Amino acid sequence: MIRKLMVAGADAFRINMSHGAHADKEPLIAAIRALEKETRRPSTILFDLQGPKLRVGKFAGGRAVLETGAAFTLDRDDIPGDATRVRLPHPEIFAALEVGARLLLDDGKLVLRALAVSNDRIETRVEVGGPLSDNKGLNVPDVVVPMAALTEKDRRDLSFALEQQADWIALSFVQRPEDVAEARRLIGGKASLLVKIEKPAALDRLEEILELADAVMVARGDLGVELPPQQVPLAQKRIVSTARRMGRPVVVATQMLESMIVAPTPTRAEVSDVATAIYDGADAVMLSAESAAGAWPEESVAMMDRIALAVESDPSFNARVHFTETLPDATTADALSQAARDIADTVSARAIVCFTMSGSSARRIARDRPAVPLLVLTPKLATARRSGLLWGAHAVQTREVGNFEEMVAKAKRMVLRHKLAAAGDRIVIMAGVPFGTPGSTNVLMVQRLTGSELDGYQ
């Protein structure tokens, strides 16, 4: 099935560390990596850390019904709860909560309003009632909870992910820049770091958080619980545009084709939702339950792929995707990246070829959203794998070039071999001299293909 998903259009695979044991993940990782030899294409794996989960305690009989308008207490007593109270095993919330703040239960299905707060009791009024069962989740959107984004479980999972040569680590429950700094310190450059924006507090410090991250995810599941529904599209557009301006890859996730968990086709609204994310310039769109537990995983990926292809074939797409202005920094690399896109447009090139060691040049080009494929050539497998989340990138691990002539010959040969251009087409090449030196991007050139470049290399 993993092979079918890649053939259907999947560029990266998410390993959800919220479920299952480490031993359960190893066969999945091995299956994904095995595809590299078969498809001659780097595989990209994102390990998604669970983060702290806030939950209420247990009820006598396993559940209770909270009546709208009634009083309800959250306390630190171990006695099973009822319709008037339940245990809350998180002292951090008692310390942080303020009178008037909301408490959302069971993914926002129930809403409480805090009336009085002490060290061991939170007196509330039930604003939206309903049934509540054991260990249901709790969200507190109106305050910053003084909890670290990394739990002890997350630290163990992170060590496992790094042992398995993770390409990307997704950090949950991000509220402030300090959360990102701690994760980056623990990762130590062994993987790229993606932050999930799922807390309103993170929106207040979005640019500071993105400054420390390598990429960002619009995690609409939890974000949609803590924000009013009508605010989620606004938050999504803000996160996407901010990430693009800052040159950070951005992923839009959760409930994109939700109906395809049980149905072979999506709703029209879901198709429009996916299309909107692509028009806004997201680097990637992500499936969750649709491909993890749904009845139509292959069809879900294929549908997502077809939507992307349809949107990108729209004559107005290029203008729409550049509605967000991404101004270059005052660096040679940024100037050349922007020029690569402009030259490709002017001379109708069919591809941009980027030679890179660290992947930073590829990220800069992808930030400018060129209208042609980006062929990323690198001697480092880790760089090739991490490129799987970049806009329009097709990464290939290849031997390092030693001189200018070899660079040009390899660029031509690779675009032909990977069918990104044909004889007579122009390509744009970007590289750095001296070769193999990270941060030395200083070459930009246009070449025309003759079709003879593959002679002797079949």
Tell me, yes or no, whether 113 and 175 share the same domain.
no
Q: How far is the CA of 181 from the CAs of 158, 171, 223, 376, in angstroms?
A: 15, 11, 22, 29
Task: Give kind and range of the element (H or E) at residue 456.
Answer: none
Which pLDDT does position 441 carry in this prediction?
82
Cis preceding-peptide flag for 200 (omega within 30 of 0): no
**According to the model, what pLDDT value does residue 329 have?**
86
The CATH number given to whatever domain includes residue 75 is 2.40.33.10
Mean pLDDT of the chain: 94
Whether 253 and 208 share a structural domain: yes
Domain termination residue (choose one: 321, 352, 377):
321
Residue for token digits 């002539």? 405
Contacts of the segment 293-297: beta carbons below 8 A, 24+ positions apart: 293/261, 294/260, 294/261, 294/262, 295/261, 295/262, 296/260, 296/261, 296/263, 296/264, 297/1, 297/4, 297/5
pLDDT digits (tens, 9 = 90+) for 324-369: 888 888 888 899 999 999 999 999 999 999 999 999 999 999 999 9
pLDDT at res. 3? 95
Residue 140 identity (one-letter amino acid)? V
Identity at 355, one-letter amino acid code: F
Residue 327 belongs to some domain of the structure: no
Q: Count CB neighbours of 457 within 10 A.
A: 11
**Residue 307 sits in the same domain as residue 343:** no
Residues 74 and 38 in one domain: no
| Least confident piece of the model among 210-224, 280-294, 424-438 | 424-438
Q: Give the rounded distance of the alpha carbon of 292 from its chain centre.
A: 16
Q: Quick one: average pLDDT of 261-268?
A: 97
Give me the pLDDT at residue 456, please: 56
Does 410 reside within a domain? yes
Q: Which of residues 139, 163, 196 is at a domain's end?
A: 139
Residue 451 pLDDT exceeds 80: no
Asked if the structure places residue 270 within a domain, the reply is yes
Q: What is the pLDDT of residues 87-97, one digit of tens each?
A: 999 999 999 99
Beta carbons of 328 and 297 less than 8 angstroms apart:
no
Q: Are residues 91 and 37 in the same domain?
A: no
Instruction: Give me the pLDDT at residue 40, please.
Output: 86
Tokens of 218: 């619009």
229: domain CATH number? 3.20.20.60
d(CA 226, CA 214): 25
My answer on whether 119 and 241 are in the same domain is no
Domain count, the chain: 3
- CA atoms within a 13 Å half-sphere pointing along the CA-CB vector of 353: 30
> Looking at the structure, do residues 243 and 170 belong to the same domain, yes or no?
yes
d(CA 64, CA 29) in angstroms, rounded, equals 41
If you average pLDDT over residues 293-319, what whole number do you get? Answer: 97
Q: What CATH number corresponds to the domain at position 388?
A: 3.40.1380.20
Q: Helices 360-367 & 332-346, crossing angle to 10 degrees?
A: 50
How many C-beta neighbours within 10 Å does residue 401 have?
19
Q: Are residues 94 and 196 in the same domain?
A: no
Kindly report, residue by residue over 387-399, the tens digit of the pLDDT: 999 999 999 999 9
Structural domain contains residue 266: yes
On whether the pTM is more than 0.75, the answer is yes
Radius of gyration of the chain (CA): 24
Are residues 338 and 263 located together in one domain of the fold?
no
Report which of residues 146 and 436 the model is more confident about: 146
Tell me, what amino acid is at 201?
A: A
Are the C-beta atoms of 383 and 355 separated by less than 8 Å?
Answer: no
> How far apart are the C-alpha atoms of 64 and 98, rounded to whole Å?
25
Pairing mode, strands 85-87 and 168-171:
unpaired
Residue 46 sits in the same domain as residue 65: no
Containing 438, the helix (H) or strand (E) segment is none
Is residue 456 situated within a structural domain? no
20 lies in some domain: yes
> How would residue 457 be classed by pLDDT, with cut points 50, 70 and 90?
low
Judge if 299 and 432 occupy the same domain. Answer: no
Please state the three-class secondary structure of 81-143 as a single string.
ECCCEEECCCHHHHHHCCCCCEEEECCCCEEEEEEEECCCEEEEEEEECEEEECCCEEECCCC
Asked if the model's pLDDT at residue 455 lies above 90, the reply is no
Q: In the listed set 301, 321, 341, which residue is the last one of a domain according to the structure? A: 321
Q: Is 451 left (phi over 0), alpha (psi -120 to 50) or beta?
A: left
Tell me the average pLDDT across 279-284: 97
Instruction: Look up the domain containing 21 and give its range.
Output: 2-52+148-321
Closest CA to 415 of 387, 443, 376: 376
34-86: pLDDT as tens digits: 999 888 899 999 999 999 989 999 999 999 999 999 999 999 999 999 999 99
Q: How far is CA 305 from the centre of its chain?
A: 17
- Clarify whether residues 241 and 273 are in a common domain: yes
> How far apart (Å, rounded) are the C-alpha atoms in residues 44 and 167?
6
How, if at all, do strands 426-432 and 441-448 pair?
antiparallel
Q: What pLDDT does residue 458 have?
A: 43
The mean pLDDT of 6-25, rounded to a whole number, is 95
Q: How far apart are CA 384 and CA 398, in angstroms?
A: 9
Cα end-to-end distance, the chain, whole Å? 30
Residue 453 belongs to a domain? no
Q: Residues 123-182: pLDDT tens digits?
A: 999 999 999 999 999 999 999 888 889 999 999 999 999 999 999 999 999 999 999 999
Check pLDDT > 80 for residue 438: no
| CA atoms of 43 and 45, how far apart (whole Å) | 7
In 3-state terms, what secondary structure has residue 288?
coil
CB atoms within 10 A of CB 368: 22
Is residue 98 situated within a structural domain? yes
